[in-house]
């Protein structure tokens, strides 16, 4: 059976506690307070009777109404009095109190007295404020701040975390942190927790996390251990900063750097290739030059027999021709590389092409002691193509065959018709092609020889030109060889022409009888090289033209002031004012309709474009091909007259 505590026991307990006790007689208004209460509220020591008014005066003015209302509510409604309020001391110090009271009533329910307690809760309030402040800091942070247990269960999740990871606090608290760890980084979280478990921090650890929408985000993590009051590590606090933008910027920079490095490496490789190419070209052009100049010097000594003199002259001629062929090949490759090689298409009989190539190679083959066998009867072998280029294709293959076939061996040229295709087969019993070299054989500047063992010489362009030309004719070329020493076979396949009506490839490309006359046509030639003026003048006058030749643009202007030609021919590169200046001048005068032909010394395809842009109607390169020039001038002047 419970017995109430004796009165003195109660008093001892009250005095020992931090709680102040008061009792108010509601009928007399007398307030009795305990010693502790008096101390707490700064009432004079030893006084156990105070007026309620004096006590109320201690309550912070802002809280007085609330305290009063609470007390009155307790008196009226029989509700217990429980209120927290501040006091304002004389020195301005603010303290917090928690006050509770019960109201004792008579049988009629009238309040007789109130008994209450008051406790100083200032420390707790301060702690709460600090906590609220810290919580607000956490909530307002841009960084994600997350608490988790050592089992990786999320215990807190701020707004920053909601923003960064897309999950709300409700979705994450109580859940494993693994939800935001990408599947390809399964050890990430456990490694961090292992460090935390040892009481250490993880600083600025950059890793990846997964957003709720599946997006990959880059974060920088700082993770610290959370210890309980006893110092035991119970979890981890993690601050995650979004570094996606920076990481992407870093990656972009890395990518750009890598690209720049790659571009530089490519440029360097291209530059090396160019240097190597130039050195090959220079070497190969110098070799026939050495022979030519050597023999010229030997002839100059005047000590050769007539037979040796004749041979020397032949050698000089052959070397010159070789060099010219190399230059032509280089120009062809340049046109092919820049996509400027144009075909002059017409109906072409491959039998005639093969025969012409065969006739051209025969002297070389005979000189080397290589036999030529041909089998050209394959029925109709007409294709659409450029007759000159197709002959070049077959000649290149035959040239190679002669070059790589030793004396006494044999080269075979065969035409075959298979369905709607014509095949040209060049087979030799020469040294063949090593299997590892076969795939590169059609690449420009490739020769099977090591550069220091260059056996064959030449630029190594022939087959590259063959392939390009054949492909431009919608055909294919194939090389086969049983390996070194077992000969090679090259097979070109071209589609047969659909139309079997043979028309000349180029109506202007006819016999000398077709070359037109230029009777009465007035031609102004401008060239600083008098040799050119004289040669062109003689050629055109022979065809009936009237020619005036001058050596500079200034002289040309003067001539044009006095005399109107039907056509102007001007060199491009002249000292002082050049051909471009002249044609622009011409186009600005009353003579603007006169056709103008540019003469260029360099065999550049660009010349055609540039001269056209400057106002020339046509462009011819030195050495000028006589018949072609006459045909050109005839057509230009006819058009001019007609218009």
Residue with smaller CB distance to other proteins, 246 or 308? 308
CB of 445 to other proteins, least distance (A): 15
CB 521 within 8 A of CB 545: yes
Q: Which of 93, 131, 274, 308 binds other proteins (CB under 8 A)?
A: 308
- From 285-293, 499-507, 542-550, 586-594, span contacting other proteins (CB under 8 A): 285-293
Distance CA 392, CA 354 (A): 10
Q: Which of 185, 286, 573, 639 binds other proteins (CB under 8 A)?
A: 286
CB of 332 to other proteins, least distance (A): 22
Nearest alpha carbon to residue 81 among 13, 35, 23: 23
Helices (H) and strands (E) in the chain, counts: 18, 23
Sign of CA dihedral 577, 580, 582, 585: negative
Beta bridge pairs of residue 227:
233
Residue with smaller CB distance to other proteins, 158 or 323? 323
The reply to whether 117 sits near other proteins by the rule CB under 8 A is no
Site string for other proteins, 579-618 (x = CB under 8 A): ----------------------------------------
Site string for other proteins, 451-480 (x = CB under 8 A): xxxxx-x-----------------------
Residue with smaller CB distance to other proteins, 28 or 305? 305
Q: Which of 98, 155, 210, 315 binds other proteins (CB under 8 A)?
A: 315
Nearest alpha carbon to residue 332 among 324, 341, 344, 323: 341
Sign of CA dihedral 533, 538, 539, 540: positive
The reply to whether 320 sits near other proteins by the rule CB under 8 A is no
CB of 640 to other proteins, least distance (A): 47
Site string for other proteins, 482-521 (x = CB under 8 A): ----------------------------------------
Q: What is the dihedral of CA 320, 325, 331, 336, to 10 degrees?
A: -170
CB of 298 to other proteins, least distance (A): 4
Q: Which of 152, 304, 374, 515 binds other proteins (CB under 8 A)?
A: 304
Nearest alpha carbon to residue 523 among 393, 416, 624, 409: 624
Q: For residue 265, what are its two tokens?
A: 């490496």
3-state secondary structure 344-395: CCEEEEHHHHHHHHHHHHHHHHHHHCCEEEEECCCCCCEEEECHHHHHHHHH
- From 303-311, 389-397, 554-562, 624-632, span contacting other proteins (CB under 8 A): 303-311
Residue with smaller CB distance to other proteins, 3 or 303? 303
The reply to whether 204 sits near other proteins by the rule CB under 8 A is no
Count of residues engaged in binding other proteins, rule: CB under 8 A: 32
CB of 638 to other proteins, least distance (A): 47
Distance CA 169, CA 153 (A): 13
Residue with smaller CB distance to other proteins, 276 or 338? 276
- From 353-361, 370-378, 450-458, 479-487, span contacting other proteins (CB under 8 A): 450-458
**Burial zone of 324 (CB within 10 Å; 0-12 exposed, 13-18 middle, 19+ buried):** exposed
Q: Residue 22: how many CB atoms within 10 A of its CB?
A: 22
CB of 446 to other proteins, least distance (A): 16
The reply to whether 324 sits near other proteins by the rule CB under 8 A is no
Residue with smaller CB distance to other proteins, 115 or 299? 299
CB of 295 to other proteins, least distance (A): 5
Q: Which of 34, 87, 99, 291 binds other proteins (CB under 8 A)?
A: 291
Element (H, E) at 307: helix 306-337
Element (H, E) at 492: strand 488-495
Q: Is the peptide bond before 623 cis (omega within 30 degrees of 0)?
A: yes
- From 60-68, 278-286, 461-469, 547-555, span contacting other proteins (CB under 8 A): 278-286
The reply to whether 295 sits near other proteins by the rule CB under 8 A is yes
Residue with smaller CB distance to other proteins, 265 or 451? 451
Q: What's the CA angle centered on 474, arms 472 and 479, to 5 degrees?
A: 90
CB of 327 to other proteins, least distance (A): 16
CB of 307 to other proteins, least distance (A): 13
Residue with smaller CB distance to other proteins, 246 or 455? 455
CB of 288 to other proteins, least distance (A): 7
Q: Which of 116, 235, 288, 475 binds other proteins (CB under 8 A)?
A: 288
The reply to whether 318 sits near other proteins by the rule CB under 8 A is yes
Phi, psi for 621 (deg, rounded to 5): -110, 150
- From 167-175, 187-195, 282-290, 482-490, span contacting other proteins (CB under 8 A): 282-290
- From 14-22, 244-252, 293-301, 554-562, span contacting other proteins (CB under 8 A): 293-301
642 alpha carbon, distance to own chain's centre: 54
Nearest alpha carbon to residue 326 among 286, 357, 295, 273: 286
CB of 601 to other proteins, least distance (A): 22
- From 280-288, 344-352, 529-537, 568-576, span contacting other proteins (CB under 8 A): 280-288
Nearest alpha carbon to residue 224 among 240, 211, 206, 208: 240
Q: Which of 256, 263, 293, 612 binds other proteins (CB under 8 A)?
A: 293
> What residues contact 540, with CB distance under 8 A and at least 6 apart?
518, 521, 523, 525, 547, 629, 630, 633
Distance CA 140, CA 133 (A): 10
Distance CA 521, CA 502 (A): 34
Q: Which of 150, 153, 289, 360 binds other proteins (CB under 8 A)?
A: 289
204-237 burial, b for 16+ CB within 10 Å, e for fewer? ebebbbbeeeeeebbbbbbbebbeeeeeeeebbb
Residue with smaller CB distance to other proteins, 124 or 308? 308
Nearest alpha carbon to residue 105 among 134, 76, 130: 76
CB of 453 to other proteins, least distance (A): 5
**Burial zone of 523 (CB within 10 Å; 0-12 exposed, 13-18 middle, 19+ buried):** buried
Q: Under the rule (CB under 8 A), what is the footprint of other proteins?
A: 278-279, 282-284, 286-295, 297-298, 301, 303-304, 308, 312, 315, 318-319, 449, 451-455, 457
């Amino acid at each position: 059976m419970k017995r109430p505590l004796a009165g003195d026991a109660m008093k001892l307990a009250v005095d020992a506690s931090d709680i102040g006790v008061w009792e108010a007689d509601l009928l007399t208004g007398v307030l009795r307070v305990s010693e502790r209460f008096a101390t707490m509220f700064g009432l004079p020591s030893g006084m156990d009777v105070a007026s309620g008014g004096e006590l109320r005066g201690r309550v912070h003015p802002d809280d007085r109404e609330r305290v009063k209302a609470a007390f009155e509510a307790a008196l009226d409604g029989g509700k217990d009095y429980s209120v927290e309020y501040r006091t304002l001391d004389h020195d301005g110090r603010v303290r917090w109190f928690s006050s509770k009271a019960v109201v004792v009533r008579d049988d009629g329910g009238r309040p007789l007295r109130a008994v209450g307690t008051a406790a100083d809760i200032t420390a707790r309030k301060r702690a709460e404020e600090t906590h609220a402040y810290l919580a607000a800091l956490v909530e307002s942070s841009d960084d994600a701040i997350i608490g988790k247990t050592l089992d990786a269960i999320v215990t807190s999740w701020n707004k920053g975390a909601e923003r960064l990871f897309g999950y709300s606090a409700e979705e994450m608290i109580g859940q494993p942190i693994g939800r935001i760890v990408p599947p390809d980084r399964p050890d990430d979280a456990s490694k961090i927790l292992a460090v935390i478990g040892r009481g250490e921090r993880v600083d600025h650890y950059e890793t990846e996390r997964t957003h709720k929408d599946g997006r990959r985000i880059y974060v920088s993590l700082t993770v610290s251990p959370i210890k309980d009051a006893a110092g035991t590590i119970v979890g981890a606090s993690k601050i995650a900063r979004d570094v996606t933008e920076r990481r992407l910027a870093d990656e972009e920079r890395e990518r750009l750097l890598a690209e720049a490095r790659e571009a530089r490496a490519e440029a360097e490789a291209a530059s090396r290739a160019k240097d190597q190419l130039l050195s090959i070209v220079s070497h190969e052009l110098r070799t026939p030059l050495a022979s030519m100049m050597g023999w010229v010097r030997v002839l100059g000594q005047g000590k050769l027999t007539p037979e040796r003199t004749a041979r020397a002259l032949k050698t000089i001629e052959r070397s010159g021709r070789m060099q010219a062929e190399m230059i032509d090949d280089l120009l062809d490759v340049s046109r092919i590389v820049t996509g400027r090689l144009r075909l002059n298409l017409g109906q072409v009989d491959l039998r005639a092409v093969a025969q012409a190539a065969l006739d051209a190679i025969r002297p070389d083959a005979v000189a080397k002691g290589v036999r030529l066998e041909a089998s050209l009867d394959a029925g109709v072998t007409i294709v659409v193509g450029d007759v000159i280029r197709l002959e070049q294709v077959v000649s290149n293959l035959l040239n190679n065959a002669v070059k790589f076939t030793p004396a006494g061996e044999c080269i075979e040229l065969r035409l075959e018709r298979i369905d709607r295709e014509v095949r040209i087969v060049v087979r030799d019993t020469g040294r063949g092609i090593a299997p590892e070299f076969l795939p590169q054989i059609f690449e420009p500047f490739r020769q099977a020889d090591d550069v220091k063992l260059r056996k064959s010489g030449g630029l190594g362009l022939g087959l590259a030109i063959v392939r390009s030309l054949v492909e431009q004719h919608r055909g294919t070329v194939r090389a086969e060889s049983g390996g070194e020493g077992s000969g090679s076979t090259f097979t070109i396949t071209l589609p047969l022409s659909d139309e079997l009506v043979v028309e000349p490839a180029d109506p202007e490309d006819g016999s000398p009888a077709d070359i037109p006359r230029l009777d009465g046509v007035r031609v102004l030639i401008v060239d600083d090289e008098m040799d050119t003026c004289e040669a062109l003048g003689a050629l055109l006058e022979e065809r009936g033209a009237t020619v005036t030749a001058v050596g500079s643009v200034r002289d040309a202007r003067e001539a044009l002031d006095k005399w109107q030609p039907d056509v102007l021919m001007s060199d491009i590169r002249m000292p002082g004012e050049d051909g471009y200046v002249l044609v622009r001048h011409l186009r600005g005068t009353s003579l603007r309709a006169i056709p103008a032909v540019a003469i260029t010394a360099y065999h550049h395809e660009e010349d055609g474009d540039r001269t056209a842009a400057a106002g020339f109607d046509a462009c011819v390169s030195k050495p000028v091909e006589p018949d072609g020039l006459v045909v050109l001038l005839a057509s230009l002047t006819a058009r001019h007259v007609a218009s």
